[in-house]
Amino acid sequence: MNFLTWFVGTLTLIAGVIGISNIMLVVIKERTKEIGVQRAIGATPIKIVGQIILESVFLTFVAGIIGMIFGVLIIQGVSALLANVPPEKAVFLHPEINVRTVLSALILLIISGTFAGFIPARRAIKIKPVDALRTEL
């Protein structure tokens, strides 16, 4: 059961990273002119990359916190439902959340958010200011 939990969690994390990366690619496409203007007035590629990665980490962090809150609520609900079940009939007794695991997952989410923003950030710094200002959305 423990292996299955880790396996599903890992696949969910990978799907989340792909989702955040796709969202960021769409954001880059929509903000092409803005990035072009920033580059034209002197923004360095490092600043653009930092901005994109920060936004990616923020989205990942917020989604992770919301997911953790829902997870805690679900576990508390299951625990409340199992409180009335006799111990010999219960499959799970007193489900709980390990704080160390939650903090490890949060750190892993932040690292994943950083990686999820890398591809969109690289695409953003390839945008030439002149071409970005010419594009029409």
Each residue's pLDDT tens digit, 75-103? 888 888 877 777 777 666 777 778 888 88
Query: Of 31, 60, 62, nearest to 48 (Cα)?
Result: 31
d(CA 7, CA 1): 10
pLDDT interval class at 73 (50, 70, 90): very high
* The predicted structure's pLDDT at residue 1: 66
- Share the mean pLDDT of the chain: 84
* The predicted structure's pLDDT at residue 70: 92
Pure H helices in the chain: 2-30, 32-40, 45-82, 99-125, 129-134
Specify the pTM. Answer: 0.77
Q: What are the residue boundaries of the structural domains of the chain, listed by start?
A: 2-134
SS3 100: helix
For the cut 70, the answer to whether the pLDDT of residue 61 exceeds it is yes
